[in-house]
Structures are given as C-alpha cells and as structure tokens.
Chain A
Amino acid sequence: MNLYPVRAIYAAEMARTRRTLLQSIVSPVISTSLYFVVFGAAIGSRISEIDGVSYGAFIVPGLIMLMLLTQSVSNASFGIFFPKFSGSIYELLSAPISHIEIVIGYVGAAATKSIVLGLIILATAGLFVPLEIAHPLWMLTFLVLTAVTFSLLGFIIGIWADGFDKLQLVPLLVITPLTFLGGSFYSIDMLPPVWQTLTLFNPVVYLVSGFRWSFYGISDVSLMASVAMILVFLALCLAVIAWMFRTGYRLRP
C-alpha cells in the first residue's frame, strides 16, 4: 500500500471540513443542543426515569447516534460525489492508486469527522445532563464502528447518486426515519408488543441499544446482537464497494 495518496485524499477532505467549519461542526452541535432543550428539558421533565436513567440522560446515546449516522453518510457521500459532479474525478481514476487506498482516504476522513463530531456532541450533552459512561472502551468501539460503517454507506450513495437530489434521498427518507423509530428517544419496551417485534427489523435499534448499553448498562437487545448487526452491515457495505470498483459502476464506464 502507498500511503502518500491516502494521506493526500485524507488531508484534502479534512481541509474541506475546515473550510466549511460552520456547516460541518457548528450546525450539528446547535441542532443537537435544540434536541436536548426540547426533548430533554421541556418534555423530559414530564417523563419519569427509564430503567433508572433520567429521560434527558437516556436520549444522549440516541442523539449522538442520530448525528453520527446522518453526518457519516452525508460527509462520505459528498466527498466522493463532488469530484464526480465537478469532473475532477478524472484525476482520482487516472492515478496509480488502489481501490482500497481510495476507500481508506475518503471513508477515513468522513469517519474521522463524524467521530470528532460525536465527541463534541457528547461534551455538549454534558452541559445539559449529568453523564456517566459505564463502558468507555465499548462506547468508543461503537462510535468508531458505526462511523466507519455509515461512512462506507455514504461512499456507496456518493457513487450511486447522479444528482444532488439522490444524495439527500437516503439520509432523509431512510436514515433519519429509521433512527427516529430505532429507540433514540424511547425504550422499545415502551411500545405495544406488535411494534416491539416490528422494531427488531430496524437495524438502527441494535446500534442505539448497544451504544446506550456502553453508557448505562441497559439495552433493548443483547450486546452481541448489536455487535453482530454492525459487523454484518460493515461487511455488506464493503462487499458492495468491492463490486462497484470491480465493475466500474458509475465510475469507470
């Protein structure tokens, strides 16, 4: 592996983040803070504790996960889509660089941004509610695995999209609804039995549950189920990207 191209892509993507700091970092932090104000303070004060955790603290892992998923997808998809849109992708395709190096550069940068954002939101949450992290290593593991996996998904979307509308389609119509319905703001025990069963088909439930377990030791599904789900999704994304590069799908006609 040649690290110079990986470093070049990674540095260029991180530089883009610095140029768009307001949009990349400040905006998600402000919107998450608003969630804390509305759900944590205004509504949370009327909801009793869930499994011994105050409602304000209970939603912290879900909110971080919501931002992590949407930002990972958004950062990675834009990172590869924009060169396609502007035409500068010719340089990437004509460079002596392997597919793995391309993915590490783009996905690594997108995941880094999301992880930093997740940690900033975690710190912001600490200003609103008392936080405890029961299993910090697991928390970091879930943070990194989720950021990488959904950055891979974003990379796929960026290659697939042939216009800005499609770039927004999956985050708006798939990621956000699944996250809202995935137990970010509630425990699935609070749902009627039928909905509880249906919810188990939502992959985001496993991510939120595992992440919440790393904070408070409480979960809707088992830890291993959460880990297995994210690893399966990771493998699936890698397989799709490998297929895209092998066939040249929407990159190399």
Chain B
Amino acid sequence: MAPSSLNELSQAVLPDALGAAEPIIRISGLEKTYAGGFHALKSVDLSIRRGEIFALLGPNGAGKTTLISVVCGLVNPSAGEVRVDGFDNVRDYRQARSLIGLVPQELTNEAFETVWNTVSFSRGLFGKPPNPAHIERILKSLTLWDKRDNRLITLSGGMKRRVLIAKALSHEPRILFLDEPTAGVDVELRREMWEVVRQLRDSGVTIILTTHYIEEAEEMADRIGVINGGRIVLVEEKAALMRKLGSKQLTLHLQVPLDAVPASLAGYDLQLAADGSELIYSYDGAEEGSGITALLGDLDAAGIAFKDLHTRQSSLEDIFVDLVKERP
C-alpha cells in the first residue's frame, strides 16, 4: 500500500539528506544589479545547513525574492557564486537545479490543467521518468488525492498552493524554497501549511522560506536570516537570537495605583503604566540574575502590594523591527 504521510514519502525521497556537515547551499559574494540599475543584492554570503528550516526575513524590497530567484536559476547573478550540494548553479545547472524545488509566492498555474497532469508535467520537466506511485503519494500526503481529476481553475486558493507544493516535490528535491508560503491564506490553513512544512523538514528536506509573518518564522524556523537593503544583516539560531536580543519585562498589577515610582526603587528600570496601576520592570533575560527577587523584597519594604504579575519576552517581531531600524 502506498504511504500517505510526508514522513513516509520522504523515505523514498531523501535517503541521504541528513547527517552530512557540509552546507547544502553555499552562497558567496553574490551580487545582483538589474538592468535598470537597482542594486538588489550586495555581496551576500550565506550557508544553509542540511535538513534545517531557514527563515529569511526582510521588509518589502529587501532582496528576499531576488536571492531565491538567483539560487533557483530564475535570475542571472551579476557576480558571486552559488553552490548547491557542491554544484555550481550556473555551470552545473542540471545537477544543482534537480536538487531544488521552488514554491513561488504567486499562485501561478495552468488554469485548465488537472491536478494530476500538472504535477506529472512538473516531474517530467525536471527530467525524471514517470512515476505514478510517487505522484499518488504526494497528492495523498497533501490531501489532494480526491481533487486529482479537478481542473486547477476550480480549486480554492489554499488547494492551489498545495498543488504548487506538490509540483515542487514531484521530482524528489532535497531542498525546498517556499517564497511567502502562507501569503494571503487564512489562519487555519496557515497552521495546516506549517504542519506540512514541519513534516517535510522531519523527512530530511531542507526548507528555506521567506515570510512577512514574523510569527511564522518564530513558530517554525531553526535559524533566522534577516536581509535588508540587499545585505544579509544577521544570521542566527532562532533560540539564540531571541535569547541574545530579547529583553524581558515583568508587569506587576498593583493593588493601589501610584503617582510616581518611589525614590527607594530608583535603582531598578521601572515604569508606571495604566494610570499608575501597573509597574513594569525591564531586565535582560540573558543575564544570570534578573533582580526580580531583590525588587520584590524592596517593593514589600516600601509597602507596595500587588494582586497579579506576568512576564513577557520580546517577540521576534520586536527584534526584527529593531534590526531593520538600526541598520537601514
């Protein structure tokens, strides 16, 4: 019986994608200047590890899509080099491109083709012999099997995006580029797509996604890259990034509102909010001592009582906004 989950699918797809230390994509000194003079990529160096989910963040026009397009062969580089599993993506384009699947941002499909035919076409286009069993596994894993004879024009937006993923997986790639995979889809479907991406990663496919949704990167990525103005301004493990750059806040809901922070507490980074009914303490989450114990003791000594408290860590969005603001 044909396996139906992406995990099972992957056993046939990716026998050796995990475990090797060499980056699966190595980008060196990549430059792109368009004919109109727009300098879209400026000396980009980036390595993508095997089997990871790498999220590329950046504001509009930062160079995300251009970077993906150069790696996938849609745009000619002006200078620099891209190696995909050791193959130069210009000189050894056959080997390099056969390893990559691309899911574009726009829902671009041949409207009058059926799901089965368009996915089979993609496999042939990437130089692979017909394999109906593999196409069946992909369609089942993406819950498209029941729609296999439907024309693409009759499908919903979410289904069309699944078809694009199925097309990208049809030739058994080891790397999957997802350009804004959940742009314009509702929350429920977005979570479904995240699950699909996770299953793909678990199966050993290396995933590179660009996104506007910070929560998407926060939810899924192993590493985060930030691109701004055509330059990679940061590449970091997501957890380390949030640990390193994330500040924490303790909010105390006071029993009696204060007019001002008492002088005895001047040594702490405190702010009053909500008309004096909330006292906010900011501290560095990465440091050994947070100072919370001492603060609570001093509050007690000052006769300030509170009825509730909670802590909050900076989100990736806060970090991202700070980065882009600081490094225009």
Residues in A with CB closer than 8 Å to B122 are: 91
The answer to whether A88 and B109 touch across the interface, beta carbons within 8 angstroms, is yes
In Å, the complex CA distance between A86 and B95 comes to: 27
**Stretch binding the partner chain, chosen from A1-9, A124-132, A135-143, A227-235:** A1-9
In Å, the complex CA distance between A19 and B126 comes to: 24
The answer to whether A8 and B124 touch across the interface, beta carbons within 8 angstroms, is yes
| Other A-B pairs beyond A86-B110, A88-B109, 9, CB < 8 Å | A8-B123, A11-B121, A12-B121, A15-B113, A90-B102, A90-B108, A94-B72, A253-B34, A253-B76
Distance to closest chain B CB from A21 (angstroms): 13
Known A-B contacts A86-B108, A253-B34, A253-B35; A94 and B74 likewise in contact (beta carbons under 8 Å): yes
Known A-B contacts A5-B125, A96-B126; A90 and B93 likewise in contact (beta carbons under 8 Å): no
The answer to whether B102 and A94 touch across the interface, beta carbons within 8 angstroms, is yes
Residue A252 interfacial (CB < 8 Å)? yes
B95, B97, B127, B128: which contacts A94 (Cβ < 8 A)? Answer: B97
The answer to whether A97 and B102 touch across the interface, beta carbons within 8 angstroms, is no
Known A-B contacts A87-B104, A87-B106; A96 and B93 likewise in contact (beta carbons under 8 Å): yes
Residues in B with CB closer than 8 Å to A87 are: 104, 106, 108
Q: Which residues of B line the A interface, CB within 8 A?
A: 34-35, 72-76, 93-98, 100, 102, 104, 106, 108-113, 117, 121-129, 167
In Å, the complex CA distance between A93 and B109 comes to: 15
Residues in B with CB closer than 8 Å to A8 are: 121, 123-125
Interface residues of A in 113-155 (CB under 8 A from B): none
In Å, the complex CA distance between A247 and B112 comes to: 32
Distance to closest chain A CB from B251 (angstroms): 48
Interface residues of A in 73-89 (CB under 8 A from B): 86-88
A86, A90, A96, A98: which contacts B74 (Cβ < 8 A)? Answer: A90
Residues in A with CB closer than 8 Å to B111 are: 86
Residue A52 interfacial (CB < 8 Å)? no
Interface residues of A in 193-243 (CB under 8 A from B): none
A4, A88, A96, A248: which contacts B129 (Cβ < 8 A)? Answer: A4
Highest count of chain B CB atoms <10 Å: which of A2, A9, A90:
A90
In Å, the complex CA distance between A21 and B75 comes to: 36
Return the chain A residue nearest B108 by Cβ.
A87
A86, A93, A95: which contacts B127 (Cβ < 8 A)? Answer: A95
Highest count of chain A CB atoms <10 Å: which of B74, B76, B112, B167:
B74
In Å, the complex CA distance between A88 and B168 comes to: 12
The answer to whether B75 and A91 touch across the interface, beta carbons within 8 angstroms, is no
The answer to whether A4 and B124 touch across the interface, beta carbons within 8 angstroms, is yes
Distance to closest chain B CB from A98 (angstroms): 8
Residue A30 interfacial (CB < 8 Å)? no
Residues in A with CB closer than 8 Å to B102 are: 90-91, 94
22 A-B pairs with C-beta separation under 8 A: A4-B124, A4-B125, A5-B127, A8-B121, A8-B123, A8-B124, A12-B121, A86-B111, A87-B104, A87-B108, A90-B72, A90-B102, A90-B108, A91-B122, A94-B73, A94-B100, A94-B102, A96-B94, A97-B125, A252-B74, A253-B35, A253-B75
Return the chain A residue nearest B120 by Cβ.
A8
In Å, the complex CA distance between A5 and B126 comes to: 6
The answer to whether B128 and A4 touch across the interface, beta carbons within 8 angstroms, is yes
Residues in B with CB closer than 8 Å to A253 are: 34-35, 75-76
Distance to closest chain A CB from B12 (angstroms): 19
Residues in A with CB closer than 8 Å to B127 are: 2, 4-5, 95-97
The answer to whether A88 and B110 touch across the interface, beta carbons within 8 angstroms, is yes
The answer to whether B75 and A252 touch across the interface, beta carbons within 8 angstroms, is yes
Return the chain B residue nearest A3 by Cβ.
B127
Residue A191 interfacial (CB < 8 Å)? no
Residue A92 interfacial (CB < 8 Å)? yes
In Å, the complex CA distance between A252 and B129 comes to: 27
